[in-house]
Amino acid sequence: MPQHFVACDRDQSFLLPPSLRDWVPAGHLVWTVLAAVEEMDLSAFYRAYRDDGHGRPAYDPAMMVALLLYAYARGNRSSRGIERECVEDVAYRVICANLVPDHSTIADFRKRHETALAGLFGEVLSLCKEAGLVTVGVIAVDGTKVHANASRFSSLDYQQLAGKILEEADRIDREEDELYGEARGDELPEQLQTPEGRRAALREAKRRLAERATRAGKDACAESPADPIELDPAAMAGHRQARRGWMREARHQLDEQRRQQAQPIPRSRAQRLLEAERRMQEDLAVESAASAGYDAWRAQRAATGVKGHRMGGPPKPYDPPMEPTGKINVTDPDSRNVKSPRGWVQGYNAQAVVNENHIVLAAEVTIDSPDFGHLEPMVTATERELEAIGMTDRPDVALADAGYWHQVQLQNIAARGTQVLVPPDASKRTGARPGWNDGMYAFMRRVLASDLGGQLYRRRQALVEPVFADLKFNRKIERFHLRGRAAVNTEWRLVNATHNLLKLHRHQNAAAGA
């Protein structure tokens, strides 16, 4: 008896047109994504297009949003990778109805609708609320370090940055000499080793780079640092660390201003170098302004008869450096050298708030390496996200590890009706820190030592750590693809929106199976 197999004839023509509905099973993730997009308010996307019918037709924003949500849910964030899957993967072809947007279109859509894409987090959270997944009894706050789209070896100090700017200007001059046939003889200045010569050479190099950018039709960076921000003395006067405290608060205010006014990172290397140099000059200006403000504040206190600082004696004089100190990354100036369990990495501190159903209630990105100071902002962000989806309930209990200990913030959160459980001592510490033996420190230790307090706090890891493990291990979200704080924040919110979408998909499938 001859062998018998199911026929596999690749030349067989379809007798009837194929239906996309038959390509994937009913319980597939793609149907959840498409149904979710149908329920979303996408007016922010549609407003970006002209409504008179003129011009080349664009891809439907609803299709592009569904494509990005599905791709991110599968851990595919590369525009070229998404384009390839639109040809090779059946689910992608269902989303696009056999259309194939190229990688440039996908990348431009992501860049053009950066703010609207970040808002999808709230849209997905609203769908999770309708499914009963958004509960706010117990929440856990934590952060994870995510690599930036930049190498730590691209972080330069001011002297190295000056050399790079001069080299870039010299390279551009040589290119123009070859193009236009007029030798200008620009060389790296011999006085590069002195601050005065460096500043003069930098001014000339920045002028040449700005002229090149203007001729190319690009926005040239400012030749001088922006005016220092208006410092708030009331927010700085309470620091116990005197001048250092004022400077730390000034840097914090500058970072907050940059966060609110975040701009895309320039693609041109020359423009990135100029932006990095401008920021370092701005840092120095703000530091000097904070020091001068501290001296004026002390003088005012002395003139009004108020005693000097508790440390006694006149303050140590501050002589501002001639050049900015520290380092800045020229690939992504917004990124920082942050400490992770595996060492220092060039990246961001990505924060998340998770509830008992492993639904992410808030997702934000910070540039600070420690978690200190971010507890109240994350709880506030959670309340803002909940209010946006029509929930008036506040979290009953907020859990966080010892890195979030901030006595003032703990008191502020508790005053709003949310009990906070944060140990004052890290798990690796064998005893209490000096001076942390009474008051709120002792009270929190007693609460955590109680049966109820200990039982609640032990749930922290089980709530938030699986979310980070799924993002970084299962979906390979270990490095941001975009650059700049605003773009990275959008990427982080979109990643967590797709995490919630996956939880919603599994919940719906489980309910349908039951």
Q: Where are the domains of the chain?
A: 20-112, 122-150+335-513, 155-329
> Which residue in the block uniquely carries the two structure tokens 């525009």?
79
Q: CA 310 → CA 184, 201, 240, 263, 316, distances in Å? A: 61, 45, 8, 42, 14
The residue among 400, 394, 409 whose CA lies nearest residue 351 is: 400
Amino acid occupying residue 360: V
pLDDT of residue 197: 67
Bridge-based pairing of strands 360-366 and 155-157 is: unpaired
CA atoms of 414 and 379, how far apart (whole Å):
11
pLDDT of residue 257: 83
pLDDT of residue 222: 40
DSSP class of 153? G
CA atoms of 475 and 497, how far apart (whole Å):
13
CA atoms of 114 and 422, how far apart (whole Å):
35
pLDDT of residue 59: 93
Q: Would you state the structure tokens that stand for residue 342, as one six-digit string?
A: 């595996």
Amino acid occupying residue 513: G
Radius of gyration, CA atoms only, the chain: 28
Q: Are 358 and 467 in contact (CB under 8 A)?
A: yes
Long-range contacts of 407-412 (CB under 8 A, 24+ apart): 407/440, 409/373, 409/375, 409/376, 410/375, 410/440, 411/440, 412/376
Q: Would you state the structure tokens that stand for residue 118, as one six-digit string?
A: 């970040």
Query: Quick count: other Cβ atoms within 10 Å of Cβ 426?
Result: 11
Q: Would you state the structure tokens that stand for residue 397, as one six-digit string?
A: 């209990």
The residue among 50, 43, 84 whose CA lies nearest residue 65 is: 43
Full-model pTM = 0.83
In this prediction, the residues of the chain whose per-residue pLDDT falls under 50 are 183-184, 187-188, 219-227, 308-311, 514
CA atoms of 326 and 313, how far apart (whole Å):
30
DSSP count for the chain of H helices, then E strands: 18, 8
